[in-house]
Structure 1
């Protein structure tokens, strides 16, 4: 019931905001190349020009490990604000490149905040008049303690919904 209510609110909000596109995805985040997180993402896409979109999104990632006989979960919560540049080669296949800024919170044994740029590359395949399937690789360079310079990679797939 909760999921249905959230979807209805999202769809109603999209209409009120004159939203053009939403994406939802799942993937893997290799955070600092030390741990692998299961990554869930959602984003709002606004067309800025014929071949350019503004993206505002969020990622919630989880990794578990055994600590003292108990399973403990660590979370990575990331925002995303950027631009995607589309290179349509056909009505069905659209490669793209994007860049932007990503604030991130690591909620593990200690809480940390990171901020930095990201670059991404991917492609979309039109599978339905209202849906595109995407596959994307994102590289992040964030600044924050304790290492101060952090690299991470995300690989994700999902659906981009057109309204």
Structure 2
């Protein structure tokens, strides 16, 4: 008959320590995990592969709470979590996407105002340093809004991972 671990639990702790050391050795020998890149949008008609997971009741309740707070489906929330883990890139909920969209809208309006000011300065006597600063700010705003647009698209659409 096998020996059961009873008493103060010291035997169980010793057994777990040995198991933890073996796991640590296995982990140390594994290659570093790969970070994937989102390369191109997946066509809508591309077939998907079914994958099923089992959750504890508390995990399911937490998932339900999160997906309702972020206004997305549980399936979408899980896909976003997986993609964030694989790519190390943010996957945004609908509230985040709306806030980023509004931010980009405001920045683009500021950029248009800066361009109008630069045009007026170019029409008359002006300080060339001011014109260059305005053009520089406008370029920064354009780059920022492009990066935010790419992040929003990556979060809304499914992409091929390579």
Bigger helix share: 2
The interval holding the TM-score normalised by the smaller chain is under 0.3
TM-score (norm 1): 0.21
Q: Which has the larger radius of gyration?
A: 2
